[in-house]
Amino acid sequence: MRRTPQILLALALLIGLVPQYAAAQGEWSIEGADDITSISAMGDGSRIAIGSHGSKAVVYDKEGTPLYEKEANNVINAVDLLDDGTLLVASDDRHLYAYDSEGTPLWDADMKRQVKSVSASEDGSVIVAVVQRVNDLLFMNGQTGEQIGAAAIGATMKTAQVSDNGQWVLAATADQYLHLLDGTGKPLLKIGASGQIQSIDITGDGDIAAGTSDGRVELFTSDGEPAGNIGIQSSVSAVAFSKDGASLGVADLTGNFYIFDSSGKQLWEMKVGEAGRSVEFSPDSKTMYAGTDDGRILQLDVSSVVAEAKSQARMRIIAWTIGAAAAIVLVLLLLRWMQRRGKLGIFREIWRSKWIYLGLAPSFILIFTFLYFPAFSGLFHSLYQWQPGGRTTYIGLDNFERMIHDPYVTKGLVNLLILIVTGLIKSLIPPLIVAELIYHLRSKKLQYGFRTAFTASMIIPSVAGLLIWQNFYDPNMGLFNNFLHLIGLGSWAHGWLGDPDTALWALIFIGFPFVGILQLLVFYAGLLSISNELIESARMDGASLPRIIRSIHLPLLSGQFKFLIILGLIGIIQDFNSILIVTAGGPMDSTYVPALQMYYAATKFNDLGYASALGVSMFAVILVITVINMKFIKSAEE
């Protein structure tokens, strides 16, 4: 038994449930650099160039020792190292600089506008630059810094990238398009992206990666065909292929760094706590350099991670094969056991009733697909950082721990307790009173008329009712404030839904006089089921109407109370529609509830793992309350 945890961990690793981590080989920091805007590795891996928001460009050797530092007069947007050690620097000071391997200036090109990007082939034969608010991609002479040509793109340029071999040039524009050109500037393809393009890269084979502001990394082939679509945590700030094109590094604005394989499968992930700004692989693809917004450069050993991921892919195939074989063996053993005990006849009975089972199959499949499967999926994914179609990373109980420290959840729990108490009072007492009044009417016609009048309100859509009440609370033309002005109490007029002190109670008051139709009908049906002989006997013994209600009606309605309490609790805990429509959780967080936080996590922030954890927690609370209710509230039959 002592080895059980180790065995389970090994199995989890085999099927890929436990994420892999990369070890940090080193960390550099540039004083006064602020954001690391770009990183470039020299073709032989001997040097690394860093560009920063703090107007500094620094060249390091592969051990992290600074070789030289250059400073511009404004933000450095991009750097690129050539095979001969030449450093190209693009800056918002409207200049494009070139330095030799010793840091001596080679040339300084005044581009008249802010230079937003520079990229070159490894040998420097193709150099392109992007300048502010210009629709042309500029081609530069690496020896003199003069412009030698331009490719008309037709839209405002954002960034550009040249493949290492100089065969391809990729440009991104503000209208969400990628433009693929050859090394001479001849247009080849125009590809549309799903969002605003933030970063791009291209391999020597023409494979394309584009990171967008909506948290997607889109992959394309050199023919423009989609090759993958990756979802990550936040807006993409940088993408970079390894030199062999087998791996893709990605950074996002929440401080996460990722590695994916060429098909878009996640191999590794790390969070550094600060916004990620740039990524670059060493030429041997064994190290990834990651730049943050606080001037740090992380040197990460990823070779073992990539190798381990490939090994695990093979092991998963073996594990699933073994599992399938074991399942077949178990089925055969079960059939053998049933044969020995003469129980195989059940299959003949099933075959005789095959048409009945076939008729039940659609219902069962639909119930499983739309009820049971989402429930089990939510339970499973509550242990993961999950984005459908993107990454799924096992994080254990971190989502539940995060709930404890989430101020919106803690504030929502206080509001939820208030809503539960007031909601149960509203859903039980007014409908019971009205049901008793209708029940004690002498005329059957009047009973029928009042029942019909109350139930007729069911035809009003709930959303319409909420919007009507929202108009009642309007501070300028709402019914409540106008009525207060009419009776001389204008000083009491208020922005009821706009004040944190009154918004929650204004929501609670919606639906006055709180005669729920379902609750009314349930109580009324319960009263009708009470024996008239029992009531008459009580009256003959001198019992008054209040005593009959207290001693006969209420005890015999305990089953109805149990049913309505359970339904009420489930509805109150799960409901966020009315709050979303009327206040959206505001003002500030005064009307927040956990269910609304679950909705926002799933729809607004695309954080479905956390949303699943919130849903599982609400399920657990409802289950506990239901068990307590079933245990302590006894019906007449019990």
Query: What's residue 305's pLDDT?
Result: 67
Q: Is 335 helix (H, G, I), strand (E, B) or coil?
A: helix
pLDDT along the chain (638 residues), means of 10: 44 42 60 83 90 91 88 93 94 95 94 94 94 92 92 91 94 92 93 91 94 90 90 88 90 88 81 82 88 85 70 77 91 88 83 89 92 89 75 80 89 93 93 93 88 84 88 88 88 87 92 90 92 88 90 91 90 90 87 92 84 92 85 58
Query: What's residue 638's pLDDT?
Result: 52
- Secondary structure E strands in 87-204: 87-91, 95-99, 105-110, 115-120, 127-131, 136-140, 147-152, 157-162, 168-173, 177-182, 187-192, 197-202
Q: Nearest 5 degrees, angle CA 240-CA 246-CA 247?
A: 40
Query: What's residue 276's pLDDT?
Result: 85
| Cβ–Cβ under 8 Å, residues 50 and 290 | no
Site of tokens 């997607």: 216
Site of tokens 């890929």: 16
Same domain flag for 297 and 437 = no
Site of tokens 């109150």: 572
Same domain flag for 236 and 92 = yes
Let me know if residue 539 belongs to a domain. Answer: yes
Let me know if residue 544 belongs to a domain. Answer: yes
Let me know if residue 356 belongs to a domain. Answer: no
Let me know if residue 363 belongs to a domain. Answer: no
Number of domains making up the chain:
2
Determine the angle formed by the axes of helices 594-603 and 608-632, rounding to 10 degrees.
150
Let me know if residue 340 belongs to a domain. Answer: no
**Residue 113 gets which letter from DSSP?**
S
Same domain flag for 143 and 281 = yes
Query: What's residue 4's pLDDT?
Result: 45
Let me know if residue 47 belongs to a domain. Answer: yes
Let me know if residue 320 belongs to a domain. Answer: no
User: Strands 23-29 and 168-173: what pairing?
Assistant: unpaired
* Domain CATH code at residue 434: 1.10.3720.10
Same domain flag for 294 and 416 = no
* Domain boundary residue, one of 554, 570, 592: 592
* Domain CATH code at residue 197: 2.130.10.10
Core vs surface per residue 50-75: b (16+ CB within 10 A) or e: bbbbbbbbbbbeeeeeebeebebeeb
Let me know if residue 369 belongs to a domain. Answer: no
Domain that holds residue 507: 411-592
Query: What's residue 389's pLDDT?
Result: 55
Same domain flag for 290 and 428 = no
Same domain flag for 197 and 79 = yes
Core vs surface per residue 157-173: b (16+ CB within 10 A) or e: bbbbbbbbebbbbbbbb
